[in-house]
Amino acid sequence: MLEAKAVWKGKLRFDAWDSEGRHMPLDASKAGGGDGDGFRPAELPLLGLAGCTGIDVVEILGKMRQTVTGFEVHVTSKKKEGYPAGYDGIHIAYTVRGKGLDPAKVEQAVKLSEEKYCTVGQALRKATEITHTVTLVEE
């Protein structure tokens, strides 16, 4: 079971924990009235998306026998104006480093994550468009 808990610590700060007891401070940005001492809650789904699709892609590429030596996932978005302020599109930039990488296999791994495996991406896709780019770096 997935679980999250947040306890208010004053001003706009919360201390949060996951189902295994790992701690994460949450706070609004300084521009948003907070002290900026924690993760901004609106960024957490983007972090979740980066981790979710990253895990999928690395795992799939391993099964495809691709030699991955480095991997980065950079997720960006803008918040919509007004309320409720959702995301105005999300872009995922994958940078895959490796030896003899097959571009078609890397693209297939990304597609499988987006269309089949990444739970976070499936949830976010219902609310906004998600695009991606893939950069391969031969090492």
Distance CA 6, CA 75 (A): 24
136: nearest Cα among 56, 57, 46: 57
pTM, to two decimals: 0.92
User: Does residue 43 come out as left (phi exceeding 0), alpha (psi in the -120 to 50 range) or beta?
Assistant: alpha
Above 90 in pLDDT, residue 134?
A: yes
Mind listing the pLDDT tens digit for each residue in 22-32?
999 999 999 98
Mind listing the pLDDT tens digit for each residue in 20-74?
999 999 999 999 899 999 999 999 999 999 999 999 999 999 999 999 999 999 9
Mind listing the pLDDT tens digit for each residue in 79-104?
888 888 899 999 999 999 999 999 99
29 burial via Cβ count (<10 Å: 0-12, 13-18, 19+) = middle
